[in-house]
């Protein structure tokens, strides 16, 4: 079982930037696994944001964040990053990272991810 831990959230003005990090805690590791970022706003369902393959060669984004968010990973540090630029008020949510051992082509399905972090809050003021 992998234990992801998120960091980097905070309060930012619209148009600003944040970098989120998702690290494997303790003796757990992301080795061989894809990692995804999801978010959940109050009163809404959890939604897919971005995900990246184990090698880092493949990444995929939800349409509303394309061109603004970038996901990357440093496997030597067992850490995945989400760079968020041009933030909007609608990006306000609790952002969680999760790990999947799935090998299918769909990276965005919540139920494919088995290990979840507790999340980090991102609040964008307009």
pLDDT digits (tens, 9 = 90+) for 21-50: 999 998 889 999 999 999 999 999 999 999
| DSSP-derived pairing of the beta strands 47-52 and 59-61 | antiparallel
Residue 1 has a pLDDT of 82
Going by C-beta distance under 8 Å and a sequence separation of 6 or more, which residues neighbour residue 112? 100, 102, 104, 106
What is the pLDDT at residue 104?
86
Q: Report the chain's mean pLDDT, rounded to a whole number.
A: 96
DSSP assignment of 42-107: TTS--EEEEEE-SSSS-EEE-GGGTTTEEEEEETTTTEEEEEE-S--GGG-EEEEEEEE---SS--
| Whole-number pLDDT of residue 7 | 98
The whole-number pLDDT of residue 103 equals: 86
3-state secondary structure of 5: strand
List the one residue out of 10, 98, 88, 84 whose CA is nearest residue 47. Answer: 98
Phi, psi of 41 (to 5 degrees): -90, 155
- Residue ranges in the chain modelled with pLDDT below 70: none
Q: Determine the 3-state secondary structure of 112 from DSSP.
A: helix
Contact call for residues 70 and 82 (beta carbons, < 8 A): yes
């Amino acid at each position: 079982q992998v234990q992801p831990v998120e960091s980097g959230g905070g309060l930012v003005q619209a148009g600003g930037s944040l970098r989120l990090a998702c690290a494997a805690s303790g003796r757990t590791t992301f080795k061989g696994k894809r990692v995804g970022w999801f978010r959940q706003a109050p009163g809404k369902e959890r939604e897919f944001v971005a995900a990246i393959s184990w090698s880092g060669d493949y990444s995929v984004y939800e349409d509303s964040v394309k061109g603004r968010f970038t996901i990357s990973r440093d496997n030597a540090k067992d850490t995945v990053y989400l760079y968020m630029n041009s933030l909007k008020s609608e990006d306000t949510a609790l952002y969680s990272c999760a790990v999947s051992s799935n090998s299918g082509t769909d990276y965005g399905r919540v139920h494919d991810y088995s290990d979840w972090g507790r999340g980090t809050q991102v609040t964008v003021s307009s």
